[in-house]
Amino acid sequence: MKLSSRIRAIPSPAGNAWAIYERAHVLKAQGVDVTMLTIGDHDHVTPEPIIAEMARSARGGHTGYAALPGTAELRRAIAARAGEGVGPQNVFVTPGGQFALFCALIAMLDPGDRAAIVDPYYATYPLTVRSAGGEAVIARADPERGFQPDLADLADKLQGARALLINSPNNPTGAVYSRETMEGIASLCRAHDVWLISDEVYDTQVWEGEHLSPRTLPGMAERTVVIGSVSKSHVMTGFRLGWMVAPEEMVRAIWELGVSTTYGVPGFVQDAALYALEYGAQIEAEVTALYRRRRDLAVEALRGANGLRLSAPQGAMYVMLDIRATGLSGVAFAERLLEEHHIAVMPGEGFGEAAAGHLRVSLTLEDDRLVEALQVLAAFAGELARG
Ligand code: PMP
């Protein structure tokens, strides 16, 4: 039987960005002690009070179909967090920020419409655009510009586009968009009359500069959808709890998309998230402090290394390493690092062409082992660079 052209169009023509990750798991299953610095998942369990609240909620009876698009209390808490001018009517709760991205694109794109994304991009973006029936057009944010988007290139790519998807603090690059960049982006969105999706799931992980949500800029609230999540901020990746903050009209319009897909997010998960947002300030501060410390340790460990260059991340839980001096591609380096040293990192090529010759290392390992792994990686890059 023939599969739809829509489903066949989703996979990346550039191949499987996750091959290294899968290979690492195969090695692990064979008993090899692989150091996993691949995906952005925490190396520790969700804090106990959040789990306890989830259990309390479930035992208390919140196990039936839950309110769409989110419980009144959670929508209120998310609105309060989102800042001035946002009310519960602007909030749509989703199973993870990833599904919020999909919903936003479905609500913006007609089949074949273009959505611009910024390269290097989070690896799911092109897939999500295609899942929503759109075509991804790629604007560049090259390493030489500190991974800030090139606004002239972006203006070009926005010709005829319906939407622009940005992410700051950025995965994979660690860039935090400056006020100048954000204002430039906002002005381009207004000039080209495009929707803006601002993926802000790393808004609690800012190491340098300041997080500025473009929704707060003049004339932007009506055309911006902000994507949020408790995955990174409260160690809740597996809970699948995210949201979009959007114009009320869009929230009403995607109600039926919720009905026809997920039928809501489990009530006990929503209650756990409500607890995290209302009482989890200390948990959040501790998680932020942990990644800040590891980021500083990584920068220190790689300072002056031969064969690689690190631009210190301004935000998020990764470091991007430029390994072009070794003469290897990111893929080739990552493959050899895995086979020869049993360290798994993501090749930059999985995040777009602008990240070619780079590696993304996630800071998801306890301090000492992280520093040790980075030293091994740096020594390997040094050897390769010397030839
Ligand atoms: N956006 C970015 C940039 C991410 O890195 C991630 C998770 N790695 C997500 C969205 C999705 O997060 P979640 O679905 O867990 O909320």
What order of strands is seen across the sheet that includes strand 114-119? 91-94, 242-245, 224-229, 195-199, 163-167, 114-119, 135-140
Nearest-angstrom CA–CA distance, 240 and 98: 9
Is the entire prediction scored with pTM above 0.85?
Answer: yes
Residues with CB under 6 A from ligand 1: 40, 96-98, 122, 167, 171, 199, 201, 229, 231, 237, 242
Top-level class of domain 5-45+282-386? alpha beta
* CA angle at 19 for the pair 18 and 22, rounded to the nearest 5°: 85
What is the number of the ligand 1 atom nearest to the C-alpha of 41? Answer: 8
Long-range contacts of 83-86 (CB under 8 A, 24+ apart): 83/213, 83/216, 84/216, 85/221, 86/245
Asked whether the beta carbons of 165 and 44 are under 8 A apart, the reply is no
Q: Which of 128, 173, 229, 235 to mutate to test the pocket of ligand 1 (most atoms within 8 A of CB)?
A: 229
Ligand 1 mean position to 373 CA, how many Å?
A: 25
Ligand 1 mean position to 66 CA, how many Å?
A: 23
Asked whether the beta carbons of 93 and 265 are under 8 A apart, the reply is yes
Those residues of the chain that have pLDDT short of 50 are none
Asked whether the beta carbons of 168 and 148 are under 8 A apart, the reply is no
Nearest-angstrom CA–CA distance, 345 and 350: 11
Residue 193 exposed, middle or buried by CB count within 10 Å (0-12, 13-18, 19+)? exposed
In the chain, which segments carry CATH 3.90.1150.10?
5-45+282-386
Compute how many other C-beta atoms are within 10 angstroms of the C-beta atom of residue 302.
21
Residue 95's identity, in one-letter code, is P
Confidence (pLDDT) at 55: 98
Q: Could you read off the pLDDT of 191-227 as tens digits, one per residue?
A: 999 999 999 999 999 999 999 999 999 999 999 999 9
What is the number of the ligand 1 atom nearest to the C-alpha of 167? Answer: 3
Ligand 1 mean position to 154 CA, how many Å?
A: 23
In the chain, which segments carry CATH 3.40.640.10?
64-279
What is the average pLDDT value for the chain, to the nearest integer? 96
Nearest-angstrom CA–CA distance, 3 and 25: 29
Ligand 1 mean position to 98 CA, how many Å?
A: 6
Top-level class of domain 64-279? alpha beta
Ligand 1 mean position to 201 CA, how many Å?
A: 6
For residue 165, the cross-strand partners are: 117, 197
